[in-house]
Amino acid sequence: MRNTVLFIAMSLDGYIADQSGKVDWLTGQNAGKDDMETYNQFIQTVDTVVMGWKTYHQIISELSPSQWVYPNLTSYVITHHESPSSNIVQFTQQAPGSLIRKLKQQAGKDIWICGGADIAGQLIQENLIDRYHISVIPTLLGRGIRLFGRTDQEIKLKLLKTQSYNGITDLIYERR
């Protein structure tokens, strides 16, 4: 069965975006340094990416408006908006848990939960995240969109690996 991986970056104080929803602070301590090695290794292990509407909209309007950033992945956008699907992006109104349970039964590589906090929170609440790959950025935002909200249950994790580069610390956990 495929694994569901939350691969995401957050500030040291637990936010994935500032209070305006911006992510321009997602750099290491030396802003000009290329920090993509971890991502480049990770992306080889997945063939599906799942995100919410806000993450999708930020990608197409701010981060990469001229081309879709995941052309080699099957992309799902969970939304309440009526949008026509394409060969590149599938829009769905399915609940996150239902979609993930269906995808896990299909053949393929791992499933990447790309964002946002609401989608991740629902999947955490249903204990459907198999691995957490959290890149902690050396920034304190003070407020913004928090990655982890309240959960109704305790979820025990096992630390698989830590690594550090350019002030960023990756924490990789799996469910116990």
pLDDT in tens, 117-135: 999 999 999 999 999 999 9
Q: Which residue has the higher pLDDT, 34 or 127?
A: 127
Span 78-94, pLDDT tens digits: 999 888 999 889 999 99
Mean model confidence pLDDT for the chain: 94
The amino acid at 156: K
Q: If you average pLDDT over residues 28-48, what whole number do you get?
A: 90
pLDDT above 90: residue 31: no
Sign of CA dihedral 7, 149, 158, 48: negative
Q: What percent of the chain has pLDDT over 90?
A: 87
pLDDT above 90: residue 149: no
Instruction: Spell out the long-range contacts of 102-108 with Cβ–Cβ below 8 A and sequence spacing 24 or more.
Output: 103/2, 103/48, 103/50, 103/76, 104/1, 104/2, 104/4, 105/1, 106/2, 108/2, 108/47, 108/48
pLDDT above 90: residue 34: no
Span 41-77, pLDDT tens digits: 999 999 999 999 999 999 999 999 999 999 999 999 9
pLDDT above 90: residue 37: no
pLDDT above 90: residue 25: yes
Q: If you average pLDDT over residues 20-24, what whole number do you get?
A: 92
The residue whose two tokens read 């919410």 is 52
